[in-house]
Structure 1
Amino acid sequence: MTNAYKHKTLKQIKFEGFIKMTLLINILFNCFSYIESLRLHR
């Protein structure tokens, strides 16, 4: 296990974490928009 390999995997893990965070924020925002639209339609 070389140092370069470790560094690459660390970057990959950070990148995957960033994607997961972005997806989570996106889902939360969509849920919020959906709830707001339901409230407005009443």
Structure 2
Amino acid sequence: PYNHTDGQIYTRRGGRGFYFEDPNGHLLEVMTVPETGS
């Protein structure tokens, strides 16, 4: 992603989500609404 803040909750497309790094350094995202719809 262009810009992320680890653990900070964002709102987008009618849902919420956040980014975090796993223990191996991979960036993961949790979203409450699928990216393809709302």
Q: TM-score when scaled to structure 2?
A: 0.18
Task: Kindly name which structure, 1 or 2, has the bigger radius of gyration based on alpha carbons.
Answer: 1
Task: Name which structure has the greater RCO, CA cutoff 8 Å, separation 6+.
Answer: 2
Normalised to the residue count of structure 1, the TM-score between the two structures is 0.18
Larger helix share, 1 or 2: 1
Query: Between Structure 1 and Structure 2, which shows a larger proportion of strand residues?
Result: 2
